[in-house]
Amino acid sequence: MNLQWTEPALRDLQGIRDHIALDKPFYAARFIERIVNTVERLKDFPQIGRMVPEASRNDVRELIFQGYRIMYRSLSDRIQILTVVHGSRDLTRMDVKPWEMG
């Protein structure tokens, strides 16, 4: 199964890296690398994540990594990484939900 990182998800990673790099540049790159490695497991196990409660859809799932929610959509030919958000974010307040994009 192929992985496809959406533009919003790539921007999320960049924002996380930039934030961590303010204090610890070395750890910023490692943290992002660990998120990417976690996502790579989806190639072999696309259903490993739990359904996103706010989405109420079978095709939208998430992995949790150190307080971050990595949301993805499982399609027939690929896995689409939708967003990487901190678990404290209230998704119900977002105007456009990650699973409604694209």
pLDDT at site 98:
81
Query: In the structure, what pLDDT confidence band is assigned to residue 3 with cuts at 50, 70 and 90?
Result: very high
| Structural domain boundaries, residue 15 | 2-100
pLDDT at site 11:
95
Distance, in Å, from the CA atom of 23 to the CA atom of 26, rounded to the nearest integer, reads: 9
pLDDT digits (tens, 9 = 90+) for 20-73: 999 998 899 999 999 999 999 999 999 999 999 988 888 999 999 999 999 999
How far is residue 87 from each of residues 1, 9, 27, 68, measured CA to CA in Å? 27, 15, 20, 5
pLDDT at site 76:
87
Do 84 and 69 touch, CB atoms closer than 8 A? yes
pLDDT at site 93:
80
Quick check: 89 pLDDT over 90? no
- CATH number of domain containing 61: 3.30.2310.20
Total domains in the fold of the chain? 1
Query: In the structure, what pLDDT confidence band is assigned to residue 102 with cuts at 50, 70 and 90?
Result: low
Of 98 and 5, the one with more pLDDT: 5
